[in-house]
Amino acid sequence: MAHGNIVTLASDPVRNVVYGAGVPTGEIYRYDVARGRTDVVGRPGSYDQSYVYTGRVMWVDSRGRLYFTASNSKNPSVYGHVHYYDPEAGFGEREDWRLQEGQALEVGQCLAKEKQCLFSDDKGHVYRFDDDGPSWTYLGQIETRQHATYIWLFHVATDVSKVYTATSTSPQRSDFTSLYEFDLTTEKTQRLCTLAELDPALRDLHIHTGYDAWDPEGRFYFASFNGQPNQPVVLTRVDPPRLKAALNKP
């Protein structure tokens, strides 16, 4: 990849390959672990722009099909749904698996036991993929009631009842970054606290990222930074039940 970078990865352990998606073209690559070889798979023929926004999360189902998303404001109808690559049949589209506002997927977590994946774009539109079927369901939007914020943090509870997320924003609005709980059953959002209340060390940090990072004790982790070269990245651990009890939240 002479003039780009890989920004998204997904593995297929059955075929022993790792897929990557690149910027700025949305090209798909496949690395064969056993052979130590990378092949250029290409990209969907439906893409009508040279440069697209590459979705930051993709996944492989039990059939070996790779699913991914991209977006481009010039023609959202081309990119406003899930695309796929099938090792046997090549590229295809699921035009019935719609993306709200044509936004590519940004974060997600797959749960092998439930054979499900949960995803969100950076505007908080939440989706569920079910491997049985397979099927695609829009679950609602995380309501932060904040403008000019992004969701780059996404942790699904082990019982698949809640999603924990936080907002990122501009450096001037770092005090407004907050932690939220999204109920997957009721589709209701509860603001838990500002991140500065969680830890004063996060007060001047406006970018908060991470997904699918849980430990065996049921605590999730995320990284925070502000883009300055002299500012260390802060790693935070959250125990949801203990935090909610301390905050007197139901």
pLDDT in tens, 131-141: 999 999 999 99
pLDDT in tens, 174-188: 677 999 999 999 999
Q: Which residues pair with 38 in a beta bridge?
A: 31
pLDDT in tens, 188-246: 999 999 999 999 999 889 999 999 999 999 999 999 999 888 888 999 999 999 999 99
* CA nearest to 14, candidates 85, 58, 65: 65
- Structure-token pair, residue 4: 């780009």
Would you say domain 1-105 falls under CATH 3.10.20.30? no
Rounded percentage of the chain residues whose pLDDT exceeds 90: 84
Its pTM stands at: 0.94
Q: What is the per-residue pLDDT for 231? A: 83
3-state secondary structure of 43: coil
Residues in the chain: 250
3-state secondary structure of 77: helix
Question: What pairing do the DSSP bridges indicate for beta strands 150-156 and 162-168?
Answer: antiparallel
pLDDT band at 108 (very low <50, low <70, confident <90, very high): very high
Contact between 228 and 241 (Cβ < 8 Å): no
Mean pLDDT value across the chain: 93
Across the range 68-78, mean pLDDT stands at 84
Q: Where does the chain hold its CATH 2.120.10.30 domain(s)? A: 1-105
- Cα 36 to the center of its chain, rounded Å: 28
